[in-house]
Amino acid sequence: MVRWHGGATRFRDEAERVSMARELFVRPVGLMAAASHREGDEQETTAALRLAGGWLDFMALEVIERRGPDRRSRILGLGEYCERDWGRHTQAASDLLEALRGPRPRIAGLPLDRPLVMGIVNITPDSFSDGGRLETAEAAIAHALKLEAEGADILDLGAESTRPGSEAVSVDEELGRLMPVIEGLAGRTKALISIDTRKAEVMRRAAAAGADILNDVSALEFDPEAMEAAAESRLTVVLMHALGDPKTMQVDPRYDDVTLEVFDYLERRIAAAEAAGIDRARLVADPGIGFGKTVAHNLQLMRELALFHALGVPVLLGASRKRFIGTLTGVEVAADRVAGSVGAALAAAGQGAQIIRVHDVAATRQALTVWEASVSGAATGERIRGTSSGSQYS
């Protein structure tokens, strides 16, 4: 029997719990727009539970039991899940449900009651989607301010290309590109500043210059000092899964079960970060679309994205303009993959992903606004008050 409301006894040692190979995973299914989630009045119902205190309710759970390289899966209603005798899995079943339900604390002051848009600002001459157009700090600053005006909640500044096949960039080179942009944006933007880097020195310097979030595609593994630098910064940290290094990661990536292995990895990195003194409230997890994954791997992760809420931290998804969108649609030029990227963003929002990382902020924002209003039946914000236009299109 699994209790719905707290009280789960904890393992004495959190590391001990995580070190045992996880056998049980749960994926919330039967997702639907939460009733009046903005007022925070959880419905008196046993048929659905709020997902991560966000904008969706879930009505059932796909319970996945790992059997070596295979999985056994079945869908249980919430009542069945809670009443079942889980035997040796009792603790895990209870913890997973609690992790799915727990409201997520704000990140750097921003509430997670709607999908946040993270706008990508590349400050790399070899960046595949900007083709070097943003080489100068001025251009990057202007681009960042444009993304904010288009509705970005977070600006993700990246000066180290981590796209597949790219070469490493030196600390000095990265700092030389990045610092003028962080400094140039200081005081000129209300958006949170995120820094896409794997290097401890860049993290330290960015934190001192006023950054809000550290976004590390190596989940603080690339630089042996990164964990300590991130902990000392007291900033929010995005931990992303990548299989191997950017240079070689797309060479024949293999998994027994990509979703479960990425979950294991992120769970271990969250435990490592907590052990290093980074509060769970400051962590975000990202399955790392395109980082050591085939199209099939990416699509399985997209389909099963809601499973990652069981990590108990906000989920970030970055699918924007990536190769798998080109493969699915036949669109070769990355900059022409806007509509496909919006499709991926809506799929992620529909699974409760709290942060969506995109190049095309205006298009994503417009799509999310209409999607949100359409699934919830309510518009938010000032725009609709008193409007009743004559023509549908004017």
Active site residues: 322, 357
Give the nearest distance from C-beta 77 to ligand 7PJ in angstroms.
34
Calculate the alpha carbon distances from 37 to 191, 367, 380 in Å.
Answer: 24, 20, 12
Our measurement of the distance from residue 382's CA atom to the centroid of its chain's CA atoms, rounded to an integer in Å, reads 28
DSSP three-state, residue 79? helix
Q: What is the DSSP letter of 11?
A: P
Which of 66, 163, 205, 365 binds ligand 7PJ (CB under 6 A)? It is 163
Which residue, 140 or 289, is less far from ligand 7PJ as judged by CB?
289
| Residue nearest ligand 7PJ (C-beta atom) | 318
> Do residues 172 and 166 touch, judged by C-beta distance below 8 A?
no
Distance between CA atoms of residues 116 and 109, nearest Å: 12
Give me the residues paired with residue 207 across strands. Answer: none
Which of 238, 260, 342, 349 binds ligand 7PJ (CB under 6 A)? It is 238
Helix H or strand E encompassing 216: strand 213-216
267 binds ligand 7PJ (CB under 6 A): no
Identify residues 184-213 at the interface with ligand 7PJ (CB under 6 A). 196
Please say whether the dihedral angle defined by the alpha carbons of residues 350, 145, 283 and 71, taken in this order, is positive or negative: positive
Which residue, 335 or 384, is less far from ligand 7PJ as judged by CB?
335
Give the nearest distance from C-beta 61 to ligand 7PJ in angstroms.
26
Give me the residues paired with residue 194 across strands. Answer: 156, 213
Residue 188 identity: R
298 binds ligand 7PJ (CB under 6 A): no
Number of residues that bind ligand 7PJ (CB under 6 A): 15
Binding mask 300-329 for ligand 7PJ (x = CB under 6 A): ----------------x-x---x-------
Which residue, 316 or 367, is less far from ligand 7PJ as judged by CB?
316
Q: Which stretch binds ligand 7PJ (CB under 6 A): 11-19, 36-44, 90-98, 283-291?
A: 283-291
Which residue, 61 or 117, is less far from ligand 7PJ as judged by CB?
117
262 binds ligand 7PJ (CB under 6 A): no
Give the nearest distance from C-beta 29 to ligand 7PJ in angstroms.
24
Which residue, 64 or 356, is less far from ligand 7PJ as judged by CB?
356
240 binds ligand 7PJ (CB under 6 A): yes
Identify residues 91-130 at the interface with ligand 7PJ (CB under 6 A). 120
357 binds ligand 7PJ (CB under 6 A): yes
Please list, in sequence order, all residues whose beta carbon lies within 8 angstroms of the beta carbon of residue 291, skipping any fewer than 6 positions away: 162, 164, 217, 240, 241, 242, 243, 246, 249
Which residue, 35 or 362, is less far from ligand 7PJ as judged by CB?
362
Looking at 195-337, list the stretches that DSSP marks H as alpha helix, in order from N- to C-terminal side.
200-208, 226-233, 258-275, 295-303, 323-329
Residue 283 identity: L
The total of other beta-carbon atoms located within 10 Å of residue 161's CB is 21
The total of other beta-carbon atoms located within 10 Å of residue 167's CB is 9
The total of other beta-carbon atoms located within 10 Å of residue 303's CB is 13
259 binds ligand 7PJ (CB under 6 A): no
Give the nearest distance from C-beta 120 to ligand 7PJ in angstroms.
6
Give the nearest distance from C-beta 16 to ligand 7PJ in angstroms.
29
Q: What is the DSSP letter of 212?
A: -
> Do residues 361 and 147 touch, judged by C-beta distance below 8 A?
yes
Give the nearest distance from C-beta 302 to ligand 7PJ in angstroms.
12
Q: Which of 258, 259, 203 is nearest to 233 (CA)?
A: 203
Distance between CA atoms of residues 288 and 208, nearest Å: 27
Copy the structure tokens of residue 288.
Answer: 């790392």
Q: Which stretch binds ligand 7PJ (CB under 6 A): 176-184, 202-210, 285-293, 299-307?
A: 285-293
217 binds ligand 7PJ (CB under 6 A): yes
For binding to ligand 7PJ (CB under 6 A), which residues are involved? 120, 162-163, 196, 215, 217, 238, 240, 286, 288-289, 316, 318, 322, 357
